[in-house]
Amino acid sequence: MDIKQNICPKCGRPTEEGLCSNCRVEETEWMICQPRVQCTQCPTCGSLKTGSIWTDSHLERESLIGELAMSGVKLHEDVEDIKVTLSHHDPTPNRTSVKVTVEATLYGIQVEQSCNILIVWIGEQCDRCSRLSGNYYAGVIQVRADGRKPDDWEKAKAIEIAYTVEDSCQNSGDRLSFITKTEETRDGVDIVISSHTIGESIAKEIKNRLGGKYSRHPKLIGEKNGKQVYRITYPVRLPKFRRGDILEIGKEYFELRSNESGNMKLFDLQNGEIRYVNENEPARLVGNVLDSETAFVAYRENDTFGMLDPKTYVNIECIRRPWLEVTEGTEVRFIRDREKDAIILLG
Ligand SMILES: [Zn+2]
Ligand SMILES: [Zn+2]
């Protein structure tokens, strides 16, 4: 085997092969800096634009400056043990000058180099903020009810459901799906939305949670980039009966506890049991627990008790329900069935 002593062709010092480490480092342009880096940011919400795509940014200004500066620095692949130090100042309101210092090891030798990168800040309103400020809308969800008006609880619930859907859209990165505004109208509540995706999701979720049904009515409003643009109205019709309604079904009285997907959960006011009944079942509306009255219990004897009608002060004798605890001197809640001249105990 021929053992040859290698020497560096540049400086003549011993080397394993080719140039010695010192000469290799000298020959290598190991840190290349771009003098300027541009950043387009929405002044309203801080979103960042890359190419033509906007994305939400959760970076603090300091971290953003660091990331931007480093995006303008290219290090040779053989550089190891990298340590970066940054310092910056703003020469003008829309310029940040960053000094980047890199200490590292290259071919076993300690190296250090600095450069200056100028960040150019461009303020541009993002796609979402410009939609928001322009009151942009793609559709309206009209929450109404079948043969009545939605009550306050239902209106508040519909709005709450809408905002929960908006949260999940935003969290999944669908930044253009949002609620432009909500508005109480004479007949219910309108939820104005920015995209068809969120419109469909909200209408569906309200229907699932509050019962009833929804439909959609698209209306062509024009053309954009060769594509037809529609606005969609989603009428949501809440069921005929709402939570707290007292219903008479087949000669028995029930309190409606919930109505999901057309399935009514009923509390049997006779025996205290829970029953599920389809919302299309024939039922007569007697009233709602919100219209209930309270009466003073004058006496109790086993399973009967007497209460004073709060309007006439006449004693009414009632049979106690197994689910209802009645004690003399307390009060009970009831509702009147005017059609049958009956008293229905509620609790
Ligand atoms: Zn050398
Ligand atoms: Zn924005």
> CATH number of the domain that 73 lies in?
2.60.40
Has residue 6 been placed in a domain? no
* Helix, coil or strand: residue 270: coil
Has residue 219 been placed in a domain? yes
* Alpha-carbon span 316 to 295, nearest angstrom: 10
State in Å: Cα 192 to ligand 2 middle: 19
Residues 95, 169: one domain?
A: no
Per-residue confidence (pLDDT) for residue 4, from 0 to 100: 62
* Alpha-carbon span 209 to 336, nearest angstrom: 29
Output the average pLDDT for the chain.
91
Residues 161, 256: one domain?
A: no
State in Å: Cα 22 to ligand 1 middle: 6
* Alpha-carbon span 326 to 318, nearest angstrom: 11
Has residue 11 been placed in a domain? no
* 200 token code pair: 């469909």
Residues 141, 162: one domain?
A: yes
- What is the span of the domain harbouring residue 296? 245-345
State in Å: Cα 104 to ligand 1 middle: 20
Q: Please give the span between the terminal C-alpha atoms of the chain, in angstroms, as a whole number.
A: 105
Has residue 227 been placed in a domain? yes
Has residue 9 been placed in a domain? no
Has residue 40 been placed in a domain? yes
Q: What are phi and psi of 310, to 5 degrees?
A: -65, -15
- Kindly state the average pLDDT of the residues 224-251: 91
Contacts of 240 (CB under 8 A, 6+ apart): 145, 146, 147, 148, 279, 285
Last residue of a domain, one of 180, 210, 238: 238
Q: What are phi and psi of 232, to 5 degrees?
A: -120, 130
Residues 93, 165: one domain?
A: no
* Helix, coil or strand: residue 225: coil
Residues 75, 122: one domain?
A: yes
1 pLDDT tier (thresholds 50, 70, 90): very low
Last residue of a domain, one of 126, 157, 188: 126
Q: Is residue 2's pLDDT more than 50? A: no
219 pLDDT tier (thresholds 50, 70, 90): very high
Residues 337, 263: one domain?
A: yes
Has residue 8 been placed in a domain? no
Alpha carbon 180 to its chain's center: 13
* 314 token code pair: 């006449």
Q: Is residue 212's pLDDT more than 60? A: yes
Q: Which residues fall inside 5 Å of ion ligand 1, going by CB? A: 8, 10-11, 20, 23
Q: What is the per-residue burial (b if ≥16 Cβ within 10 Å, else e) of 266-295?
A: bbbbeeeeeeebebeeebeebbbeeebeeb
Q: By the 8 A CB rule, do 304 and 317 touch? A: yes
State in Å: Cα 181 to ligand 2 middle: 17
State in Å: Cα 232 to ligand 2 middle: 25
By percentage, how much of the chain surpasses pLDDT 70?
99
State in Å: Cα 18 to ligand 1 middle: 9
Has residue 3 been placed in a domain? no
292 pLDDT tier (thresholds 50, 70, 90): very high
State in Å: Cα 135 to ligand 2 middle: 14
Q: How many domains does the chain have?
A: 3
* Ligand sitting nearest the alpha carbon of 123: 2
Of 30 and 260, more confident: 30
State in Å: Cα 40 to ligand 2 middle: 11
Q: Is residue 262's pLDDT more than 80? A: no
* Ligand sitting nearest the alpha carbon of 56: 2
Residues 229, 262: one domain?
A: no
Q: How far is residue 266 from each of residues 161, 187, 287, measured CA to CA in Å?
A: 23, 26, 14
Residues 117, 157: one domain?
A: no
Of 130 and 333, more confident: 333
Q: What is the pLDDT of residues 170-196, one digit of tens each?
A: 888 888 899 988 999 999 999 999 999
Q: What is the pLDDT of residues 109-141, one digit of tens each?
A: 999 999 999 999 999 889 888 887 777 788 999
Specify the DSSP element, H or E, that contains 24: helix 21-27
Residues 119, 26: one domain?
A: yes
* Ligand sitting nearest the alpha carbon of 23: 1
Which residue's entry shows tokens 């461009």?
A: 122
Residues 187, 155: one domain?
A: yes
Q: Is residue 325's pLDDT more than 50? A: yes
Per-residue confidence (pLDDT) for residue 131, from 0 to 100: 80
Residues 151, 122: one domain?
A: no
Q: What is the pLDDT of residues 12-62, one digit of tens each?
A: 888 888 889 999 999 999 999 999 999 999 988 999 998 888 998 888 999
- Kindly state the average pLDDT of the residues 131-156: 88
Last residue of a domain, one of 66, 98, 126: 126
Q: What is the pLDDT of residues 295-304, one digit of tens each?
A: 999 999 988 9
Per-residue confidence (pLDDT) for residue 208, from 0 to 100: 87
Q: State the SS3 of 39-89.
A: EEECCCCCCEEECCEEECCCCCHHHHHHHHHHHCEEECCCCEEEEEEEEEE
Residues 229, 155: one domain?
A: yes
Of 96 and 132, more confident: 96
State in Å: Cα 102 to ligand 1 middle: 24
State in Å: Cα 116 to ligand 1 middle: 30
* 259 token code pair: 């109505």
Q: Is residue 323's pLDDT more than 60? A: yes
